[in-house]
Amino acid sequence: MFALVFSRRFSMAHRLLGPDVGKCDMPHGHNEVVSAHMEAARPAALDGTHNMVAPFDVAKGDWHGWIDGHVDHALQLSATDPLLEYFRAHEPEKLPRLIITPGDPTTEVMAACFTAKLNAILLRADTGLVCRRLELTETPTNTVIFTGDPADVLPEAQGRDGGPPWWMRADTSTNDL
């Protein structure tokens, strides 16, 4: 079986509010790398003509566009972070630059959310691909690898107007504010 692997580097900032987060309770940033491993949802033999699982530009185009345009230099916050009220009151124009997660925006939850988002994007584009493994490297020495179904690990949540949360939609959203 073939796997297509696409990596993208981005800068981000976050803060964690949970217990035992150490110095991560202060807003701070990382330069991260996300590597998505995609496979054909229904594997098939090469066709003898095109001999590819999917065209690279189709497989990675919308995904890289979302990372570059909406994830890069975004601030990741928990849905319960008091900083959300600051942005609502004083800088509402920056709300689209916030990535809002259920609970602390840890590397683990981000890897699951990214996997769900990528799978929604791949499905909408009718690529025939599914993300089977996603690696999120927070620092040169810390990487989280997610495999499986994001619905198995993410809490149930509703998005805008009772629809699916941002991580389950194939749009460019990063929150449901």
Q: Does residue 102 lie within any of the structural domains? A: yes
Biggest CA–CA distance in the chain, Å, is: 59
Kind plus residue range of the DSSP H or E element containing 62: helix 56-66
Q: What is the mean pLDDT of the chain?
A: 95
- Whether 52 shows a pLDDT value over 90: the answer reads no
Range of the domain at 123: 4-14+32-43+52-168
Tokens standing for 124? 């909408």
pLDDT 10s digits, 92-136: 999 999 999 999 999 999 999 999 999 999 999 999 999 999 999
Q: Does residue 39 lie within any of the structural domains? A: yes
- Whether 177 shows a pLDDT value over 90: the answer reads yes
Q: Does residue 99 lie within any of the structural domains? A: yes
Per-residue pLDDT, averaged over 15-19, amounts to: 94
Tell me how many domains the chain contains: 1
Q: Say how far apart CA 107 and CA 31 lie, in whole Å.
A: 12
Q: Does residue 19 lie within any of the structural domains? A: no
Q: At what angle do helices 107-124 and 56-66 cross, to 10 degrees?
A: 130
- Domain CATH number, residue 106: 3.30.479.10
Query: pTM for the whole thing?
Result: 0.95
Tell me the backbone φ, ψ of residue 5, rounded to 5 degrees.
-125, 120
Tokens standing for 94? 């920056």
Q: Does residue 133 lie within any of the structural domains? A: yes
Q: Does residue 177 lie within any of the structural domains? A: no
Q: Does residue 174 lie within any of the structural domains? A: no
